[in-house]
Amino acid sequence: MPLMTTKPMFDLAYDGGFGVGAFNVNNMEITQGIIEACAAEKSPCILQISKGARKYANMRYLKAIIDASVAQYPDLPIAIHLDHGDTVELVNQCIGDGFTSVMIDGSHHPYEENVKLTKQAVDTAHAAGVVVEAELGMLGGIEEDVVGMDAHEYEKNVQKFLTDPEQSRDFVKRTGIDSLAVAIGTSHGAYKFKHEAKLAFDRIEQIMKTCPGTALVMHGSSSVPQEFIDLVNQYGGKMPNARGVPEDQIHMAVSKYGVCKVNIDTDLRLAMTAKIREVFAKDPAEFDPRKYLGPARDAIIAMVRRKLHMLNSAGKTEKVIAHWKKLGSPLPKFYGK
C-alpha cells in the first residue's frame, strides 16, 4: 500500500526535473477526479486538506474517501497533506487523523515567532514520522482562510515580499523542516494579477544555493485556464480579468529548479463550477446531482491530466514506489489508528 510521506517523492523530484501536484480536496467527486487522473497518468500525487475542507466535509468523511482511493489504486503513491495549518494543535489533530504530511504556516507572524512555531510543529510531527512544510515570504491574494497581500498591491511591490535566501538558510537550519514554501511571485485565488505573472527564477536559484537539497514548494500556482473562465462567464458567471500563473513558467520551475511540489486548488474549483454552470444552462430542468456532478468530475480528470504533464510527473509512479521500498516503506506511526 504505497500511501506515504512526501519524502520518497521529493527525493526523486529535486534532481529528476519534475514536481508533484498537490491538489486540494473537499468532496468525493473532486477526490475521484484527481485520483483517476493520476492513476491514468501513473503519477504520484498529494491530496491536500485545508482547515476549511475539514470544517466543510468532516474529516471522517474525507479520510474514508481517501482510504477508498488507496484501496482502489493500491499501486498509486499518495500523500495526505495538511494545507496551511496555523496552529500546533491542528497539526496534532491531523497527525492523529492519519495525515502523512503537514504544513505549519507562520509566515504572517514576525520571523522569530515563525521559527518558534515551526520548530514546535516539526518536533511534534517528526516524532510521529510525519514530514513538515513551512513558509517564508508573503503571497498575494485570498483563498479560503489564507489572506495574503492585496493582489494589486502585491503585484506592484512584489520584490519586497519575496522569500529572502539568507533568511531561508537560517530558517531551515533552526527548524529542521522537510520542505519550504517560497514566495517567488505567485498569488492565491483566481484574481491573481492585472498583468501576466513573471516568476522570480533568480530568487529560486539563490534559495537553492543557500538551502541545498531542500524541497521547494509553490503555493498560489493555479494557472486559471481561460477556457474555464470563458465557460463560467458564458453560462451566467461573472469573473472578469481573472489571471493565473502561466503553465510554461510552472513547467520551468519544476524542470530546471528545485520546486518539488506545486499547489493547485483554484483550477479544480473553476473546472467543476464551469461544467456545472454549463449543464444547468443547457438543461434548466435538470435536478439529478449525478447529471451535473458527473460531468464536473470528468472536467477535473481532464484538467488534472493536463497538469501532470506540465509538472513532468506523469509516468513516475514506479520509480517513486521503488524508492519508497528502498527507504523501508515507512508509514507515519498514527496512520490507520
Domain ranges of the chain: 7-326
Spatial distance between the Cα atoms of 31 and 238, rounded to a whole number of angstroms: 26
Q: What pLDDT score does 57 carry? A: 94
Selecting among 83, 86, 105, 267, the annotated active-site residue is 83
Q: Which residues of the chain have pLDDT under 70?
A: 1, 139-160, 186-197, 334-337
Spatial distance between the Cα atoms of 162 and 120, rounded to a whole number of angstroms: 24
Fold exhibited by the domain 7-326: TIM Barrel (3.20.20)
Return all residues near 172 (Cβ < 8 A) that are at least 6 apart.
180, 211, 214
Spatial distance between the Cα atoms of 45 and 331, rounded to a whole number of angstroms: 16
pLDDT tens digit string along 291-332?
Answer: 999 999 999 999 999 999 999 999 999 999 999 999 999 888
Phi, psi of 53 (to 5 degrees): -65, -40
Spatial distance between the Cα atoms of 268 and 289, rounded to a whole number of angstroms: 18
Distances 181 to 85, 107, 127 between C-alpha atoms, Å = 13, 10, 22
Q: What percent of the chain has pLDDT over 90?
A: 74
Q: What pLDDT score does 143 carry? A: 46
Q: Is 83 a catalytic residue?
A: yes
Q: What pLDDT score does 223 carry? A: 82
Model's pTM, two decimal places? 0.90
Q: What pLDDT score does 110 carry? A: 94
